[in-house]
Amino acid sequence: MIALMALDLLAIAAHPDDAELTCGGTLAKAVERGYRVGVLDLTRGEMGSRGTPADREQEAAEAARVLGIHLRENLGLPDARLESNLDSRLLVARKIRQHQPRVVILPAWEARHPDHSTCTRMAYEACFLAGLAQLELEGTPHRPFKIVYSAMYEPMRPSFVVDVTAQYELRKQAILCYRSQFGDQKTWGDISPRMAGLVDEVDLRCRYYGSLIGVEYGEAYTLKEMIQIDDLVTMPVRSI
């Protein structure tokens, strides 16, 4: 998969399968709307207790095909020792310049797995660096317009929920491509050891966030900035 034009939406994740577990439905929905969509995984997940990096690479490619996304890349940074240093930030900034995403999805900034919160910090700083015209880095300076943070697995109040009811089956299929992670164990791996029963728990989380906006399945996000509404008359989600 080669990026021939700018991406509309790019998810940046610490490990292969994180993007599917957090925003797979949103990515599939964006593809259906005709947007150009990509995933940038920072590590190959080589420290995971199950599956080899080669397994996970193949699984990630399969999951990308299921979601229909246009680009999936892996930076091959060290799993479980992910560090936000200048080198790693510049690697990500180079990808931001290369793919020029309009919107970036990052993990929640407070996350149990240190790689997830490091990914958030590193990618945020990389998005900033990528826009600096004076920075000595190949490519055209670019800063994403919008950064949203997944709020699916952390105890934080979402700013908004995306209705993924129509994409839920694709989302599930994409997660189940990671047979090395979920084939027999059916646990959530590094996302949350508290939860067992992958399919049930995915269902529960998405149903809960869906219920907050009155639909069957939803994916939750949070923002640092405020949401602008210009027309109160057409606002979705019933109050009473």
Give the binding range for Zn ion (CB under 5 A) out of 15-23, 131-139, 146-154, 173-181. Answer: 15-23
Q: Quick check: 14 binds Zn ion (CB under 5 A)?
A: yes
Give the binding range for Zn ion (CB under 5 A) out of 16-24, 52-60, 72-80, 153-161. Answer: 16-24
Give the binding range for Zn ion (CB under 5 A) out of 13-21, 72-80, 119-127, 135-143. Answer: 13-21
Q: How far is the CB of 23 from Zn ion (least distance, A)?
A: 13
Q: How far is the CB of 116 from Zn ion (least distance, A)?
A: 6
**φ, ψ of residue 218 in degrees (nearest 5):** -140, 160
Closest CA to 160 of 204, 240, 223, 95: 223
Q: Quick check: 97 binds Zn ion (CB under 5 A)?
A: no
Q: Which amino acid is at 231?
A: D
Q: Quick check: 111 binds Zn ion (CB under 5 A)?
A: no
Q: How far is the CB of 48 from Zn ion (least distance, A)?
A: 9
Beta-strand relationship, 103-106 and 37-43: unpaired
Q: How far is the CB of 18 from Zn ion (least distance, A)?
A: 4
With CB under 5 A as the contact rule, the residue among 7, 8, 9, 15 that binds Zn ion is 15
With CB under 5 A as the contact rule, the residue among 9, 11, 16, 18 that binds Zn ion is 18
- Nearer to Zn ion by Cβ, of 15 and 29: the residue is 15
DSSP run (H or E) holding 146: strand 146-150
- Nearer to Zn ion by Cβ, of 33 and 81: the residue is 81
Closest CA to 178 of 52, 77, 1, 80: 52
Q: Quick check: 190 binds Zn ion (CB under 5 A)?
A: yes
Q: Which residues bind Zn ion (CB under 5 A)?
A: 14-15, 18, 190
